[in-house]
Amino acid sequence: DIQMTQSPSSLSASVGDRVTITCRASQSISIFLNWYQQKPGKAPNLLIYGASSLQSGVPSRFSGSGSGTDFTLTINNLQPEDFATYYCQQSYITPRTFGQGTKLEIK
């Protein structure tokens, strides 16, 4: 199975900040990497697919980059509604695997 490791596990930031979350795969996954946002008590929401493609309806302050084993989710100009937990997920092979999550908290 491909292991996905996110860093950091938690992060404090302020409204208006720019934050970066990284995700590393245990082997190359090309660009088959997705990012999700999850708020407490809610289902996850797809933000980015194919490493850098923005899902329809997702604000443009979210962006993704990377290929191979190293990937980044960047959120520019943090908004109050962005404070949530973020997960990466590989779709290169089955079983699909997720990172452990990064909790973004208000500073």
Partner 1 sequence: EVQLVESGGGLVQPGGSLRLSCAASGFTFSSYWMSWVRQAPGKGLEWVANIKQDGSEKNYADSVKGRFTISRDNAKNSLYLQMNGLRGEDTSVYYCAREGDEILTGYVGTASYFDKWGQGTLVTVSS
Handedness of CA 90, 37, 58, 15 (dihedral sign): negative
CA 99 vs CA 15, 23, 57: distances in Å? 25, 7, 23
Site residues (CB under 8 A) for partner 1, limited to 38-67? 38, 42-46, 49-50, 53, 55
* Least distance to partner 1, CB of residue 14, Å: 25
Does residue 83 belong to the site contacting partner 1 (CB under 8 A)?
A: no
Contact 24, 13 (CB under 8 A): no
Which residues would be at the binding site for partner 1 (CB under 8 A)? 1, 30-32, 34, 36, 38, 42-46, 49-50, 53, 55, 87, 89, 91-92, 94-101
